[in-house]
């Protein structure tokens, strides 16, 4: 495939007006999110006199709703109109952001307000994510779904670069209160574009009511447990989110403040660099649209762990190596992160029937919810053993976990994504054949759409 054809395939989903609106709204959402992700730890450190435990605790409170409400949010996404869910959640996030910024500007914000805000926002996002992710497979042609998921990840990472840098520099320029005012203003764009969405409602279960929804929840759990692809991805994600994903919200601010001495601006730069790596890898996934994910996903998890360990170890070196090398490894960390998100989401969507995709994709929220335990543990371990040792321990668990899952699920080696699953909607997208009979799959040809 030529470079021109690859590029055309990469951006083909943006030719769909509905996807384009969803993409623009997610861009605004992600910009505001990453500004807040950088500003929040420094607000907590300022309010608590530098407590790493509270930084981890706030992260825990934000992700606990994913653990508690995530699977129920998936049921809601399958039973109700997904556009309506997006509108309700985004409007309420905007209201919360305005109230939070107003309390901060007025000097009335207390630590319990931060915890309450994070819990409420985490709850809303638990319901928003399965509706948004499931909508992608509904509004795009089958062969564009993997590219559409990856392009959404690429957008997230462009905004990680821009939003994190903006958050890091907004703090010294505008103050922490000014940074949170900017977050609320930027989020208006996400609300406006979501209101403009026009999406045909998806096929929904015929039965209604609480009893039918409860039965649907059980049905989704049974389907996931009985599907090797989904079960393996959930186990990998459990390790990945619990021990890996606290690095941007717990470890990076602590390294910037306590180890490297580069402050909020340096933390924003590090998170931006993870976005650079993530953007490159997301564009590769969007253009190549790989199908063979069985070996790729475990390899990504252990590579991610190795980058985290290398990031922590090289921070012991004297300057300038003690700054240059950690920055290089944190960039590579972002690259592996987006590869995992894109491929795991596409594999799960392709493995589920249309009417069950909300429930299946929401199961990842159980793993994301365990970020709360991981973030809390990271904060306490950093206070007990130091931030560098804590990051080495967490990275090592990811390395062992990636190898362990590949050894436990030997059939992963022959797993591939079949775009036809999106076309018939019956969830047969992850195929397992003997590795000796399955040649390396070519990237899916770009759609003519």
pLDDT at position 448 is 30
The residues that bridge with 426 in the sheet, in sequence order, are 353
**pLDDT tens-place string over residues 4-34:** 444 445 677 788 888 888 888 888 888 888 8
Percentage of residues of the chain with pLDDT beyond 70: 76
| Residue 445 covered by a domain | no
pLDDT digit string (tens) for 360-395?
Answer: 766 666 656 677 678 778 888 988 889 999 999 999
What average pLDDT score do residues 119-130 get?
A: 83
Q: 3-state class of 416 per DSSP?
A: strand
Band of the pLDDT at 397, cuts 50, 70, 90? very high
- Residue that the structure tokens 């007025």 belong to: 106
Q: What pLDDT is stored for residue 316 in this prediction? A: 94
Write the CA distances from 374 to 38, 397, 426, integer angstroms: 18, 11, 35
Of 21-25, 292-296, 431-435, minimum mean pLDDT range = 431-435
Distance CA 170, CA 362 (A): 34
* pLDDT at residue 111, as a whole number: 92
SS3 292: strand
Q: What average pLDDT score do residues 132-136 get?
A: 74
| Lowest-pLDDT range of 248-262, 320-334, 432-446 | 432-446
- pLDDT bin (cut points 50, 70, 90) of residue 1 is very low
Give the pLDDT of residue 208: 60
Would you state the pLDDT for residue 235?
85
In a domain, 449, yes or no: no
Position 166 scores a pLDDT of 84
Residue 425 has pLDDT above 70, yes or no: no
Residue 325 maps to a domain: yes
More confident residue, 112 or 287: 112
Q: Which pLDDT score, from 0 to 100, does residue 274 have? A: 81
Predicted pLDDT at 286: 62
Q: Would the pLDDT of 61 be above 90? A: no
Q: Does residue 122 lie within any of the structural domains?
A: yes
CATH code where residue 236 lies: 1.20.1250.20
Strand partners, 432: 415
Q: 49 lies in which domain range? A: 9-200+210-437
* pLDDT of res. 204: 55
What are residue 353's phi and psi, to 5 degrees? -65, 155
Residue 64 has pLDDT above 80, yes or no: no
Determine, yes or no, domain membership for 254.
yes
The stretch 52-71 carries a mean pLDDT of 77
Q: Is 365 helix (H, G, I), strand (E, B) or coil?
A: helix
Half-sphere exposure at residue 99, Cβ-oriented, CA atoms within 13 angstroms: 14
Domain count across the chain: 1
Share of the chain above pLDDT 90, in %: 16
Confidence (pLDDT) at 367: 58
**What pLDDT, on a 0 to 100 scale, did the predictor assign at position 393?**
95
Q: Residue 110: inside a domain, yes or no? A: yes
Spatial neighbors of 439 by CB under 8 A, at least 6 apart, are: none
DSSP state of 144: G
**2 domain-assigned:** no
Q: Examine the pLDDT at 416 and tell me if it is beyond 70.
A: no
What pLDDT, on the 0 to 100 scale, is given for residue 148? 78
Q: By mean pLDDT, which of 50-54, 82-86, 156-160, 390-394 is the weakest?
A: 156-160
Q: Note the residue count of the chain.
A: 449
pTM above 0.75, yes or no: no
- Whether 132 is covered by a domain: the verdict is yes
Residue 442 has pLDDT above 60, yes or no: no
Name every residue whose Cβ is closer than 8 Å to that of residue 9 and which is 6 or more positions away in sequence.
1, 147, 286, 287, 289, 445, 446, 447
Contact 276, 330 (CB under 8 A): no
Q: Mind listing the pLDDT tens digit for each residue in 203-230?
A: 555 556 567 667 777 777 778 777 777 7
Mean pLDDT along residues 220-245: 81
423 falls in which pLDDT band (50, 70, 90)? low
Residues 30-54 have a mean pLDDT of 86
Q: What is the pLDDT of residue 311?
A: 94
């Amino acid at each position: 495939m030529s470079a021109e054809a690859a590029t055309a395939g990469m951006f083909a989903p943006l030719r769909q007006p509905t996807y384009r609106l969803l993409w623009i709204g997610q861009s605004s959402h992600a910009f505001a999110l990453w500004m807040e992700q950088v500003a929040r730890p420094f607000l907590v450190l300022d309010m608590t006199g530098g407590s790493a435990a509270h930084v981890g605790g706030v992260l825990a409170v934000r992700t606990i709703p994913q653990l508690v409400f995530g699977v129920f949010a998936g049921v809601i996404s399958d039973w109700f109109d997904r556009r309506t869910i997006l509108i309700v959640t985004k409007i309420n996030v905007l209201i919360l952001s305005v109230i939070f910024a107003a309390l901060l500007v007025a000097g009335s914000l207390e630590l319990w307000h931060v915890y309450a805000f994070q819990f409420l926002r985490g709850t809303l996002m638990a319901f928003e994510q399965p509706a948004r992710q499931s909508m992608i497979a509904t509004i795009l042609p089958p062969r564009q779904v993997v590219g559409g998921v990856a392009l959404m990840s690429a957008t997230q990472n462009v905004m990680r670069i821009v939003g994190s840098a903006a958050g890091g520099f907004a703090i010294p320029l505008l103050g922490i209160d000014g940074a949170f005012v900017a977050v609320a203003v930027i989020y208006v764009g996400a609300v406006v574009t979501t209101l403009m969405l026009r999406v045909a409602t998806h096929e929904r279960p015929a039965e209604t009511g609480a009893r039918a929804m409860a039965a649907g929840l059980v049905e989704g759990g049974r389907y996931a447990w009985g599907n090797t692809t989904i079960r393996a991805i959930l186990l990998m994600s459990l390790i990945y989110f619990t021990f890996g994903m606290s690095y941007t919200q717990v470890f990076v601010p602590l390294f910037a403040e306590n180890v490297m001495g580069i402050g909020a601006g340096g933390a924003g730069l590090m998170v931006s660099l993870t976005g650079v790596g993530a953007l490159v890898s997301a564009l590769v996934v969007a253009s190549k649209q790989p199908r063979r994910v069985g070996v790729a996903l475990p390899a990504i998890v252990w590579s991610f762990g190795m980058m985290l360990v290398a990031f922590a170890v090289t921070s012991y070196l004297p300057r300038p190596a003690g700054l240059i090398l950690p920055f290089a490894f944190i960039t590579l960390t972002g690259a592996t992160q987006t590869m995992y998100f894109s491929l795991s989401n596409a594999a799960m969507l392709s493995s589920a029937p249309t009417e069950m995709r909300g429930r299946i994709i929401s199961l990842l929220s159980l793993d994301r919810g365990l970020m709360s335990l991981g973030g809390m543990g990271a904060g306490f371990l950093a206070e007990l053993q130091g931030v560098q040792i804590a990051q080495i321990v967490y990275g090592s668990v990811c390395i062992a976990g990636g190898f362990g899952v590949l050894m436990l699920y030997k059939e992963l080696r022959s797993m591939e994504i079949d775009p036809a699953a999106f076309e018939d909607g019956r969830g047969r997208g992850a195929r397992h054949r003997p590795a000796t009979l399955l040649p390396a799959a070519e990237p899916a040809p770009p759609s003519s759409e």
